Structure 1
Amino acid sequence: MTGRRGGRPLVPAYLSTGGVARPSRPHLERLSVLTRAGAPAPAGLPAAQLALLDALEDGSLTVVEAAALLRLPVSAVRVLAGGLIDRELATARAPIPSAARFDPDLLKRVADGLRALKHA
């Protein structure tokens, strides 16, 4: 199947999810980290879910990374991932929160210490 201008696939996203519009796991965010569980893929798994499992074979991906890789909307990947999690074929964890801002004085002291070591 060829894509339209802009690289979008011709298959509507709702077909990849089997017509399901809402994920079974509403807590899945764009930056939730998906990881494949150790269980083998069962026979009869829909092609889009199988493609997502294959994408997770080499390691973890965020929902948005998986969407880009599969060329599907994030909403569709959330539905697919929710189905895999329900079947215990994948796991998801919340995104890592942003780190607190470093104290500028601490950074200055570290830089000064490194400069002192360099000149010693």
Structure 2
Amino acid sequence: MALSRRRRQSGQDTPWYDDEAGRLVRPYTISNGRTRPTAHFDLMTMVMATGRRPASCQGPDYAQVLGLCEGPVSVAEIAAHIRLPAVVTKVLLADLVDCGALTARAPAAVSAGPVACTDRALLEAVLNGLRKRL
């Protein structure tokens, strides 16, 4: 009863989310217990929706991921937005790539230029700042 009261007050309609407790469904339930995606993704892999909505990839989690992928977005960003572990996010993304709803590519490499010099003074200042905060 407290869950439905909290849900009504916050305006959320989903029964799988509680304002205080967060997501009520365990992350690996979403991926059906799978921990290995069928495609290779690292955290910087860029994914983008193709516009296809196949019947095999239906459900609120797939819809949420597809909504985030209207433009190129990294795997890390998607995992942060949907608040799931990266490995579960990779399984969902692999499902969407397998059914043709997403495309994936490695991020473009950026050259450092002719000579990449490291400013020692800058690095020491950053280190000192981190030491003060920690």
Query: How many angstroms does 1:60 deviate by?
Result: 1.6
Give the TM-score of the pair, scaled to structure 1: 0.71
Contact 2:54 2:100 in 1 (8 A): no
Displacement after TM superposition at 1:96 (Å)? 2.1
Aligned partner of residue 45 in structure 1, secondary structure: coil
Q: Specify every segment of 5 or more residues in structure 1 that has no aligned partner in the other structure, as ranges.
A: 105-120
Q: Does 1:16 align with 2:30?
A: yes
CA shift for structure 1 position 4 = 5.6
Number of aligned residue pairs? 101
Contact 1:17 1:48 in 2 (8 A): no
The whole-number CA distance in structure 2 between the counterparts of 1:69 and 1:14 is: 17
Q: How far apart, in 1, do the equivalents of 2:68 and 2:74 lie?
A: 11
- CA distance in 1: counterparts of 2:93 and 2:29, whole angstroms: 15
Task: Give the equivalent residue in structure 2 for 1:91.
Answer: 103
Q: Tell me the C-alpha RMSD between the 2 structures.
A: 2.4
Q: Which moved more, 1:15-24 or 1:74-83?
A: 15-24
Identity rate of aligned residues, in percent?
Answer: 28
Note if contact 1:17-1:76 (Cα within 8 Å) is conserved in structure 2.
yes
Quote the Cα distance in structure 1 between the aligned partners of 2:98 and 2:25: 25
Aligned counterparts of 2:87 and 2:51: Cα–Cα separation in 1:
25
2:78 counterpart SS class: helix
The answer on whether the counterparts of 2:57 and 2:99 sit within 8 Å (CA) in structure 1 is no
The farther-off stretch of 92-101 and 63-72 is 92-101
Structure 2: where are the runs of 5+ without partners? Answer: 1-16, 117-134
SS at structure 2 position matched to 1:30: coil
